[in-house]
Structure 1
Amino acid sequence: MEKHLLSFGHGYSARALTPLLLAQGFAITGTTRSVEKRSALKATGITPVIWPGGDLSEALKRATHLLISAGPSESGDPVLADLRDQITVHAPNLEWVGYLSTTGVYGDTGGDWVDEASPLSPATKRGQMRVAAEAAWQSVPGLPLHIFRLAGIYGPGRGPFSKVRAGTARRIIKAGQVFSRIHVEDIAQVLAASIARPNPGAIYNLCDDDPAPPQDVIAHAAELLGLPLPPEVDFDTAEMTPMARSFYAESKRVRNELIKRELGVKLRYADYRSGLASLLASERASSKC
């Protein structure tokens, strides 16, 4: 049987996975809300479908793999709200289901370490919705579900360099604040490794080996660019959007041993320094083309 991935909310992480699976002979159907994005997705080698609103019955019948990147709302997980019955009844060939969650489900530990067995105590509404969505997917009987809790994602087009160059970057200082991160290429390789070695019921943290204060990342980006350090701004007095401020409600260090031990993953970018250096090298190489 042809391997067929149906990807809900085929965004940044799913697009990084796409070439790895296409090289293995997968067919991929990816959903998008945007008519404008449909042509761009098709150019990557997938079959794009507008959803909600499009007919996914044939894609579900063919699907051997599901990837859920679409985020939940206060009313719950959008995929289950729309398609739970179709998934349970009309998707008979599923070998692997991946749900992309967030390390925000662990909440604030004051900078202490968490792993996949740590209690879930989200400090934000977003984290609470993710906990509910995880539980909703886990409640679907017989589903070969794998949950991936992603740290802060960076990669091509999502690095700090543009703000540093523009002079708009700031080093927000909050005592004891630390975040974990993950390069999008490492997300893709972990997902591909799980697809190759499925373990229904598994939960994996996706992060690098070096949790760090956010101001250190901005400072290192400036150093790589040979530009002055962006100014330090105290968190309490910093002008920030409510969304940006909410990220500072949680401080924790996330362990990633399970992806290495169970999936055999060796991170391409084990810390933000190697990840940023690679991004900058790619930017400079592209500018010369």
Structure 2
Amino acid sequence: MTTPAIAAHGLHKSYGDRTVLDGIDLTVPEGTVFALLGPNGAGKTTAVKILSTLVTADGGRAEVAGHDLAASPQAVRAAIGVTGQFSAVDGLITGEENMLLMADLHHLPRAEGRRVAAELLERFDLVEAAKKPASTYSGGMKRRLDIAMTLVGNPRIIFLDEPTTGLDPRARHNMWGVIRELVAGGVTVFLTTQYLEEADELADRIAVLNGGRIVAEGSADELKRLIPGGHVRLRFTDPAAYRSAASVLRDVTRDDEALSLRIPGDGSQRELRSILDRLDSAGIEADELTVHTPDLDDVFFALTGSDVPNQPKEAVR
């Protein structure tokens, strides 16, 4: 088995009498997207700060890029990049100058720094704006420049702390494309986000943080299956077929007006086959079959007990 990009065990952090992280365990395989979800104040940013060496944990241990976080923080810093909630872009200088500044901070030779800056500006579609002050950039452009600056040091692991907060839907989807390209190139992405749709779209694995602890972890589909409410809906146009199906299938909820039946379940292949086999055996054909499963909104609410903030429809905390 390969060494995970990030492996944390029993991380603990308190501020005064407030426990922010209460012994959390995390394992992030290389070349994947790992999303950490949780309500405001759950400790997501604190976890990022600890794993990126910005603050020290009170207890527990962690390895990042194969290096012990406490014993080799410099080696960890050399392998990672961090894009925080608030942009590191300097608005008083141009996009190109921001990139060259990062190259200097990474001690790249001048020619090498210019080459890397030019390549990244082109990769993130910022060539036309490169000579303009970054203060004139849109929110999406600033975020792209922020990530481009993070990539100057060619990090193997990138921490993205709510990278699309405040972006419009188009800019958010463009950023998703950037993240997918990074992962396709072998980069590991540790993502915190307030958009559940974002985690659903991007993450290979998701952990839900609540009360300082990881209350659930798995793929988006695995988490959705934890929550009851999934069902299969059959709709009929023939009242006789509807009545026959209701008598053949067990544990159904009837809607006589809509001629539809609701069967509890997770919509798995085995379950669907069983339903269809029973209908086929009775010579009954449904006109429409749909599978309904809980979404990440349902998972989040059930696991954290938190109200969903007033955000755009696809954006919940």
Question: Is the TM-score greater than 0.5?
Answer: no
Q: Say which structure is richer in helix.
A: 1
Please state which structure has a larger fraction of its residues in strand: 2
TM-score by length of 2: 0.27
- TM-score, structure 1 normalization: 0.29
Which of 1 and 2 has greater Rg? 2
